[in-house]
Amino acid sequence: MVPVRGRHRATDLRSNGFVAIAAGTILPLVAIGAVYGGYRAMSTSGCSGTVRLSVAASPEIAPVIKDVANQWMKTNPRVNDECVAVDVVSVASSEVAAAIAGESGATVPGLGQADGKTQVPQVWVPDSSIWLQRMRAAREDLVTLAAPSLARSPIVLAVPEPTAKQLGWVENKVTWKQVLEQIVGDTRIVPGIVDPQRDSVGVSTLVAMESVKDQFGPEGDALTVGAVKSLMSGKSEQQSGLIGRFPRDADPRTLSTSVTLAPLSEQALHAYNAAGPAVPLIAVYPDPAPIALDFPYAAMPRLAPDREAAADAFRQQLIGAAFRNQLAQHQLRANDGSVGTGMTLSPSAPPGGQVTPVPEAGVINKAMQMWIEITQPSRMLAVVDVSSAMGKPVPTAGGLTKAQVAVQAAQGGLDLFPDTWAVGLWCFSTEMPGGHDYQSLVPIGPLTTQRDQLRGALGGLKPNPKGGSGLYDTILAAYQNVQQGWDTGRGNSVVVITGGRNNDPSGISLDGLVSSLQRAEKADQPVQIIIIGVGSEVNQAEMQRIVDATGGAVFIASDPSKIGGIFMKALALDDGR
């Protein structure tokens, strides 16, 4: 890629026909000859100078843009009596994004540092406008949103043909609820995904899942959290790594250990099948459709006027019927979703003209935050109320007690926690052994060794019919316990499940608890407190004062039978880092 230093034209020697030699860099003679020859050709065409335009395009569309650039160059294009030379390079969108952010000292969450080799172009064609939204969320002046889309490639769920036939997904309409249920509960589904922090297909999938979960009622949060955790277990850093994990034969043993569901672009799936694999992939188009790849043409801010004119002139070459047909040769749709000559769609593919708009940055960031918070390793102390208040029956839960519905929710969450988590368990009530209002049942430790122990301890919890709630003393002790063992790189948190108000007259007061938490808080060792209230007896205002002291959240299940979904939502927000 041509290094870009053209934002101040007077100092950009390359844009004026000179070969710049950076400190410590010597251009090979062949390269110098090529540059000289190019400028000589330009000069014989009567140009007063040359405007060089560097374009970094996502690999899916880069070959098409290169072809158009080569064809255009044969016409000796000019702007303001200067000849235009277009250099197109194929670069992953994540690498260009990191380079743009790095040059400006900005940070895009989850993206990481620039590789030091990728140069900032004058025109960027990422695979999705999602990148532009993420960049502007980091700093508004990094890129522009005035970037027209050049092409489309819908996001599909790639499923090996044998699995798709078993599920009845080959030609039938498939909803996101069906997809999430299969990911969470069907052993035939081995999900995979490219890390959404560096891949817009993954981001689009998360946005779709986040946008529809409320339609599923109380189970929506649990389904979404479970699906995200399952996807995380099959995460790949790059698309090539994910594609390499699809089954190489239809043997049931191979299918059981290979990826059998993963979001891909329609173009990537066509490319995979074009190679003639033993097990082709079926494109499943979930309803509603995720955000398609749209390949925006983004001229960088603050370009010199001649480069800005060149960028606009080149963009005019990337429209029309001929361009649509060129896109079709690379299995890409036109920017309106229509299909050019030579591209064949599967029977279940949606027709052209149906375009899901790219949402605002806040929606994208919410989905990204969900991924980060659910998938990052956490260190959590669960604290469960076993006072007499938890022995009350819940009419909407078939007569189960508050304690029983709370334990069911906690056990469901435990089954979804990845092995990278460390979890401990306390219970609390007055009249506990040892003279405290709480009891440690399982110390915080890795789930790889104590998942079954935690499950058994949860199953053994029974309300104390004579016990009151020593809630405040317990919260302070739990906070101090987690803080003492604070673990860098993990979310450190206390999750409290309670069914009533503090009623221990000999214990600490609410004001005393809040003051103690504020004194104990350490900015470099944050511990988040999350309180889940079971039933209407819990005072939300009091609980909010507690979590405000250290950061956290309060969730109240007024109908205790709905605690499962609330428990999952609370865990999705658990980010005590």
pLDDT tens, 127-157? 999 999 999 999 999 999 999 999 999 999 9
The pLDDT value given to residue 281? 97
Query: 501, 551, 506: which is closest to 527 by C-alpha?
Result: 551
Q: Is residue 577 part of a domain?
A: no
Question: The domain that contains 128 carries what CATH number?
Answer: 3.40.190.10
Residue 359 lies in a domain: no
Higher pLDDT, 120 or 225: 120
Q: Are residues 245 and 270 in the same domain?
A: yes
Task: For residue 198, give its domain range.
Answer: 155-287
Structural domain contains residue 354: no
How many whole angstroms from its chain centre is CA 129? 15
Q: What average pLDDT does the segment 304-326 reach?
A: 97
- pLDDT above 80: residue 7: no
pLDDT tens digits along 160-201:
999 999 999 998 889 999 999 999 878 789 899 999 999 999
Percentage of the chain beyond pLDDT 90 is 59
Kindly report which listed range (23-32, 417-426, 428-437, 463-472) carries the lowest average pLDDT score: 23-32
User: Does 347 reside within a domain?
Assistant: no
Residue 55 pairs in a beta bridge with 88, 123
Model confidence band, residue 354 (pLDDT cutoffs 50, 70, 90):
low
Asked if residue 329 and residue 202 are part of one domain, the reply reads no
Indicate the pLDDT class of residue 21, thresholds 50, 70 and 90. very low
Residue 473: give its domain's CATH number: 3.40.50.410
pLDDT of 572: 56
Q: 459-483, pLDDT tens digit by residue? A: 999 999 889 999 999 999 999 999 9
In this prediction, residue 515 carries a pLDDT of 97
Provide mean pLDDT across the span 13-22.
30
DSSP code for 401: B
User: For residue 431, is it within any domain?
Assistant: yes
Amino acid 14: pLDDT: 31
Residues 100, 210: one domain?
no
- Of the pLDDT bands very low, low, confident and very high (cuts 50, 70, 90), residue 40 is very low
Same domain, 535 and 553: yes
Q: Which of 230, 257, 287 is at the close of a domain?
A: 287
pLDDT digits (tens, 9 = 90+) for 380-421: 999 999 999 999 988 877 888 999 988 988 887 787 677 888
Q: What average pLDDT does range 223-233 have in this prediction? A: 84
The one-letter amino acid at 398: G
267 and 185 part of one domain:
yes
Chain segment 252-295, per-residue pLDDT in tens: 888 888 999 999 999 999 999 999 999 999 999 999 999 999 99
Report yes or no: 199 and 94 within 8 Å, Cβ to Cβ.
yes
Highest mean pLDDT out of 47-51, 64-68, 241-245: 64-68
Same domain for 458 and 540?
Answer: yes
Q: How many CB atoms lie within 10 A of CB 10?
A: 8
261 and 317 share one domain: no
Strands 422-428 and 438-446: antiparallel
User: Mind listing the pLDDT tens digit for each residue in 361-382?
Assistant: 889 988 988 888 777 788 999 9
Which pLDDT value is given to residue 20?
A: 30
Q: What is the model's pLDDT at position 34?
A: 35
Give 569's pLDDT tier (boundaries 50, 70, 90).
low
Give residue 564's pLDDT: 67
Nearest C-alpha neighbor of 230 from the set 207, 262, 268, 198: 262
Residue 447 has a CB neighbour count (10 Å cut-off) of 17
Beta bridge partners of 384: 427, 497
Position with higher pLDDT, 37 vs 104: 104
Give yes or no for a contact between 265 and 329, defined as CB atoms under 8 angstroms apart: no
Claim to verify: residue 146 and residue 159 sit in the same structural domain: no
Q: What is the pLDDT of residue 577?
A: 45
CA distances from 487 to 404, 478, 549 (A): 31, 15, 21
What CATH number has the domain bearing residue 215? 3.40.190
For the stretch 492-527, pLDDT in tens is 999 999 998 999 888 999 999 999 999 999 888 899
| Across 82-86, 254-258, 266-270, 332-336, least confident range | 254-258
Query: Same structural domain for residues 25 and 146?
Result: yes
Q: 356 in a domain, yes or no?
A: no
pLDDT given at position 472: 96
pLDDT(45) > 60: no
d(CA 267, CA 295): 13
Mean pLDDT for the chain?
Answer: 86
DSSP letters for 170-237: SSS-EEHHHHHHHHHH-TT--B-EE-TTS-HHHHHHHHHHHHHGGGGTTHHHHHHHHHHHHHHHTEES
Identify whether residues 144 and 216 lie together within a single domain.
no
pLDDT at 316 over 90: yes
Task: Evaluate whether residue 125 is within a structural domain.
Answer: yes
Please write the tens of the pLDDT for every residue from 448-461. 999 999 999 999 99
Point out the domain boundary residue: 264, 287, 310: 287
**Confidence at residue 218, expressed as pLDDT on a 0 to 100 scale:** 66
Q: Which of 310, 334, 358 marks a domain boundary?
A: 334
In a domain, 548, yes or no: yes
Q: What is residue 222's predicted lDDT score, i.e. its pLDDT?
A: 75
Residues 230 and 249 placed together within one structural domain of the fold? yes
Q: What percent of the chain has pLDDT over 70?
A: 89
Number of separate domains in the chain: 3
Yes or no: say if 315 and 178 are a contact pair by the CB < 8 Å rule.
no
Same domain, 508 and 556: yes
The confidence score (pLDDT) of residue 192 equals: 93
- What global pTM score does this model have? 0.70
